[in-house]
Structure 1
Amino acid sequence: MFAIDPVTVLLSIVSILFLAHVYNKRQDKYKNFPPGPKPWPIIGNMLSIDMKRPHETFIELSKTYGPVIGVQIGLKKVVVLCGYDTLKDALINHAEQFADRAVAPIIRKSQMENGIIFSNGENWKVMRRFTLSTLRDYGMGKRTLEDKIIEEAECLVQTIKSHGGKPFDNQTIINAAVANIIVSILLSHRFEYEDPILQKLMTLVNENVKLIGAPIVKLYNSFPFLVGLLPGSHKKVCANRLQFHDFVRATFTEQRKVLDVNDQRNLVDAFLAKQQEGTPESTLYYHDDNLTTLVSNLFFAGMETTSTTLRWGLLFMIKYPNIQKKVQDEIQKVLDTAQPRVEHRKQMPYTDAVIHEILRCSDVTPGSVVRATSQDVKFRGYFIPKGTTVIPVLYTSLRDELYFEKPNEFYPEHFLDSKGNFKKNDAFIPFAIGKRICAGETLAKMELFLFFTKLLQHFTFQAPPGAVLNLTPDPGFTNTPFPHELCAISRT
């Protein structure tokens, strides 16, 4: 017989009691948590969720558990919100409680909750206020920026014409055209599409969009201490972001040398001028780390989502040539060969409806950017503790059968009344709603109308001979089209 060490026994009892206490406290914390599938120990519901297209799993779960679902991803409890009415209730009626951003470990590792997208509290409020006011100052919604978009659209048209109707991949040039708009606001600069600096920046962004959707990155976000020891794309994500940050820092370091606070040329100048005010706010929030991340956030958001939506738009026009023809007929009637301008949108209800339907069906960010509860909240009879990650599934609003007649079809009539006039739809929320609504919504809508109208004014888009059109999203941080080629047949 082995002798039992009393100290070992005591430590074992204490350990068991401690673990039981922690478990009971956890159970108490999540008492009356929203219903959902039973989780496995440690991994939670990860095996039952399609990690590439989680919104599809959430839709199926909502059929069983309702529009407010509790799931567990790894060790973390998560609340999933489905359907427009639920999203509106949470993000509008309980705006303060659902206003925080959940910051994944892969994000926190390289930007420390600076900038605007993944920051919280007073830092987020200051950065958002600065961003909105500065975007307005440097043209968002104004004629000066509209002129820049029109000039860029003309450059894009000429580049597409150079292919002579032969098949080409449009990702790089559309990315570059859209990127030049946000770069003009950030840096007062325009890149040629072949510029190696712009090519590098776009590559870093596009790589990370894909890598963040990789299984190992999602595992890293659930188990950072363990997965962080392994090689993989989670390390590439951080390396790419740091390379981008190095470019931003080098750029504003040069701008600082020639800064004239009385002649501010762009958003970076405006931020650098704030640094020199010497107020408590300027010291606390207008530091170089915030500037680095803010510029990176705006470049990513200003390029990726709008250019991806445009690329989806051209694919939908290829898929539905009758709709493409109707848009071109309206362009011919209203514009003929005149330059498209934002003021024409009201005269072009069908084109406007098609653009809205492109935004709805492309659903570039199906799960939105995840939120977190800023305080304990009672929501629809459930208790959600402070700090709980919340996923508002925008996809379920954009495909809500209570608001869209044909939710799973491309149907521009969703945004037209019986007389052919444009009509709004409350459930159309591709830019989210509430306090975290996209700061660049106005800019994105302006770009989409001017670029899309200009392209269809000059070209008819077709699939290359023998090509099979693929409208399945290539999942990542955003839903992008799979690599493809198309033909642009000149109409002028």
Structure 2
Amino acid sequence: MWTLQQLFLGILVCLFIFKYLKMKWEARSLPPGPSPLPLIGNLWTLNFCFHPDTLSKLAKHYGNTYTIWLGHTPMVVLNGYQAVKNALVSHSEELSGRPVASFIQDITNGKGIASSNGHNWKQQRRFGLMTLRNLGLGKRGLESRIQEEAQCLVDSIRATNGKPVDVSYLITHAVANVISAVVFGHRFSFDDISFQKLVAGNNLLTESIGTKWAKLYDAFPWLMQRVPGPHHKSFECKRLLDDFVRNEIRIHQENGTPEEPSDVIDHYLTQIRKASGEPGSTFDEANMIQVVDDLFVAGTETTVTTLQWALLLILGHPGIQRKMQKELDAVLDGQVICYEDRKKLPYTNAVIHEVQRYGSIASVGIPRSSISNVTINGYPLKKDTIILPNLDSVLRDPQYWETPYKFNPNHFLDKDGKFVPSEAFLPFSAGHRVCLGEQLARYELLIFLATLVKAFNFQVPEDMTEVKTEHKSRLTSKPHQYKICAVPR
């Protein structure tokens, strides 16, 4: 006669076996991939994170379209330019969804732009694109704000008097102030405590999304919601960010001029009033808060990380720094740099593009989800299949890059020294989910980096024995912490 404990154990074992056999059965209709382990799938093989190098190694065994398992959930990985292009560009609409059961979904409650789906996503993204255009993206107004922040950054770095210093916080503050002007309508001072907390919370939030705890959450959302761990800190940071935005909204409601919207919050409040009573409208406070969060997080993290990579790589390649300075001195002649100047700065433009390629900031991006049945690279996939584009493998595809693992601005220059774009340059992803702030980031990277390189000679501190350019993979691919000596020219 079985005891109650034995019966319970027997049921668990049977359930365990059933789940595993179900996985194996489902795998028959999916692209090939490593055999999943019971319960955890391929998380052990992946070391519980999506490191691009691991994903590329798996592609050598299973092809450029293959399947990995997060627990009992399959995920199709795309590797290399052709595989990614054939999916994200050729099937842009079909792959415009986001996975519903995921860490990011629970943090955002499925609101806003970055992780929402369907009608909600389309309305919010359309609003975001239209509002950024209305606020001057691509026009002189926003460009002058970037120029002002770049000059403030130069002044802050000059105050270090050429001593070894980690300039990450100074860069973060400058870039965050650009997007703050867009979403909040004003900048913040260095000593603003609430803004410092906001930036710190933003950093922690973006760091946590790429951790092993986050991947465990993606695989076992029901369980991870109920067990303690550092992943819960992410929700605290999100509440901090929401409270900050909520307070800014209140200030706008009390002091704003609805007939003259000057930032994202003003425009959204106007949109809520216009859409009031419209059937199917998704414009409400919850979406407004998340749209502002999305723009602030994305508008800070990727540009800051790219500039950190840029200074580190310039530090390790003094010859490249000198060539940039020679070009900048000849073209600008003391003038403030404008985005339009990139046409006269082929080498500087090439360096910026190569920083984005080599740094591979959004190395694997945020997973997509198929909103209908679709055939990708010859494999029929069902609706709601999760897709992971390995963008790092595109930016290092040896078929398109002469020295994929070396920092080489010549990737974007022809034999006459003229700038040439590359079709495999997809740092902002592609398709319907391409980065909303791509154009803003392009403006910032050129103006910030050119202004800094023109103002300073960046040198290696005496106690730095080598310049480390290894990647730290989280949500974005970051360089290791470093110090730099900025000597005024």
Q: TM-score, normalised by structure 1?
A: 0.94
Q: What CA deviation, in whole Å up to 9, does each residue of 1:421-462 have, x standing for no partner?
A: 110100000001111111111110000000000000000111
1:136 to 133, 136, 154: 133
Hey, what's the Cα distance between the residues in 1 that align with 2:23 and 2:327?
A: 60
Higher mean displacement: 125-134 or 374-383: 374-383
Structure-2 change in CA distance of 1:476 and 1:410 (3 Å): same
**Matches for 1:148-227 after TM superposition, within 5 Å:** 148-227=145-224
What's the secondary structure of 2:57's corresponding residue?
Answer: helix
What residue number does 2:488 align with? 490
Measured after TM superposition, the shift of residue 327 of structure 1 is: 0.4
Hey, what's the Cα distance between the residues in 2 that align with 1:22 and 1:367?
A: 28
Structure-2 change in CA distance of 1:54 and 1:281 (3 Å): farther
1:344 aligns with 2:357: no
What's the secondary structure of 1:119's corresponding residue?
Answer: coil
Hey, what's the Cα distance between the residues in 2 that align with 1:444 and 1:55?
A: 23
Hey, what's the Cα distance between the residues in 2 that align with 1:161 and 1:300?
A: 27
Hey, what's the Cα distance between the residues in 2 that align with 1:310 and 1:361?
A: 12
Measured after TM superposition, the shift of residue 20 of structure 1 is: 8.4
What residue number does 1:431 align with? 428
Hey, what's the Cα distance between the residues in 2 that align with 1:271 and 1:78?
A: 35
Measured after TM superposition, the shift of residue 209 of structure 1 is: 2.1
**Contact 2:135 2:142 (C-alpha < 8 Å) held by counterparts:** yes
Give the counterpart letter for 1:485 in structure 2.
K
**Matches for 1:321-340 after TM superposition, within 5 Å:** 321-340=318-337
Q: What CA deviation, in whole Å up to 9, does each residue of 1:117-143 have, x standing for no partner?
A: 001111111111100110011011110
Hey, what's the Cα distance between the residues in 2 that align with 1:390 and 1:255?
A: 39
Give the counterpart letter for 1:487 in structure 2.
C
Measured after TM superposition, the shift of residue 228 of structure 1 is: 3.0
**Contact 2:352 2:445 (C-alpha < 8 Å) held by counterparts:** yes
Hey, what's the Cα distance between the residues in 2 that align with 1:207 and 1:3?
A: 50
**Matches for 1:232-243 after TM superposition, within 5 Å:** 232-243=229-240
Give the counterpart letter for 2:247 in structure 1.
A
What residue number does 1:311 align with? 308
Measured after TM superposition, the shift of residue 279 of structure 1 is: 4.5
**Contact 1:106 1:238 (C-alpha < 8 Å) held by counterparts:** no
Hey, what's the Cα distance between the residues in 1 that align with 2:396 and 2:105?
A: 32
Structure-2 change in CA distance of 1:94 and 1:448 (3 Å): same
Q: Provide the aligned length of Structure 1 versus Structure 2.
A: 484
Measured after TM superposition, the shift of residue 250 of structure 1 is: 1.5
Hey, what's the Cα distance between the residues in 1 that align with 2:68 and 2:41?
A: 8
What residue number does 2:471 align with? 473
2:118 to 105, 117, 121: 121
Hey, what's the Cα distance between the residues in 1 that align with 2:134 and 2:213?
A: 42
**Matches for 1:23-172 after TM superposition, within 5 Å:** 29-52=26-49, 54-103=51-100, 105-172=102-169
1:289 to 286, 290, 302: 286
What residue number does 2:256 align with? 259
What's the secondary structure of 1:48's corresponding residue?
Answer: coil
Hey, what's the Cα distance between the residues in 2 that align with 1:282 and 1:174?
A: 44
**Contact 1:210 1:475 (C-alpha < 8 Å) held by counterparts:** no
**Contact 2:49 2:215 (C-alpha < 8 Å) held by counterparts:** no
What's the secondary structure of 1:488's corresponding residue?
Answer: strand
Structure-2 change in CA distance of 1:449 and 1:104 (3 Å): farther
Measured after TM superposition, the shift of residue 23 of structure 1 is: 7.0
Give the counterpart letter for 2:422 in structure 1.
N
Structure-2 change in CA distance of 1:301 and 1:90 (3 Å): same
Measured after TM superposition, the shift of residue 19 of structure 1 is: 8.7
Hey, what's the Cα distance between the residues in 2 that align with 1:49 and 1:320?
A: 33
Give the counterpart letter for 2:91 in structure 1.
H
Hey, what's the Cα distance between the residues in 2 that align with 1:227 and 1:374?
A: 26
Hey, what's the Cα distance between the residues in 1 that align with 2:42 and 2:3?
A: 40
Measured after TM superposition, the shift of residue 489 of structure 1 is: 0.8
Task: Note the aligned Cα RMSD (angstroms).
Answer: 2.2
**Contact 1:116 1:294 (C-alpha < 8 Å) held by counterparts:** yes
Q: What CA deviation, in whole Å up to 9, does each residue of 1:200-219 have, x standing for no partner?
A: 11100111222223322322
Higher mean displacement: 477-486 or 340-349: 477-486
Higher mean displacement: 187-196 or 169-178: 187-196
Hey, what's the Cα distance between the residues in 1 that align with 2:3 and 2:418?
A: 84
Measured after TM superposition, the shift of residue 253 of structure 1 is: 1.8
**Contact 1:317 1:324 (C-alpha < 8 Å) held by counterparts:** yes
Q: What CA deviation, in whole Å up to 9, does each residue of 1:182-210 have, x standing for no partner?
A: 11111110111232122111100111222
Give the counterpart letter for 2:192 in structure 1.
D
What's the secondary structure of 1:108's corresponding residue?
Answer: helix
Q: What 5-or-longer segments of structure 1 have no aligned partner? A: none
Q: What CA deviation, in whole Å up to 9, does each residue of 1:10-31 have, x standing for no partner?
A: xx99x96x99887776656543
Structure-2 change in CA distance of 1:173 and 1:103 (3 Å): farther
**Contact 1:214 1:233 (C-alpha < 8 Å) held by counterparts:** no
What residue number does 2:457 align with? 460
Q: What CA deviation, in whole Å up to 9, does each residue of 1:247-291 have, x standing for no partner?
A: 111210221223332111111001001111145558731100001
Give the counterpart letter for 1:392 in structure 2.
P
**Matches for 1:381-396 after TM superposition, within 5 Å:** 381-396=378-393
Hey, what's the Cα distance between the residues in 2 that align with 1:3 and 1:138?
A: 71
Q: What CA deviation, in whole Å up to 9, does each residue of 1:364-423 have, x standing for no partner?
A: 110011111111222222222211111100001000111111111111011011111110
Give the counterpart letter for 2:468 in structure 1.
N
Measured after TM superposition, the shift of residue 230 of structure 1 is: 2.6
What residue number does 2:447 align with? 450
Hey, what's the Cα distance between the residues in 1 that align with 2:61 and 2:41?
A: 18
What's the secondary structure of 2:252's corresponding residue?
Answer: helix
Structure-2 change in CA distance of 1:172 and 1:20 (3 Å): closer
Structure-2 change in CA distance of 1:221 and 1:253 (3 Å): same
What's the secondary structure of 2:274's corresponding residue?
Answer: coil
**Contact 1:274 1:282 (C-alpha < 8 Å) held by counterparts:** no
Give the counterpart letter for 2:474 in structure 1.
G
Structure-2 change in CA distance of 1:3 and 1:114 (3 Å): closer
Q: TM-score, normalised by structure 2?
A: 0.94
Hey, what's the Cα distance between the residues in 2 that align with 1:425 and 1:180?
A: 31
Structure-2 change in CA distance of 1:402 and 1:64 (3 Å): same
**Contact 1:31 1:383 (C-alpha < 8 Å) held by counterparts:** no
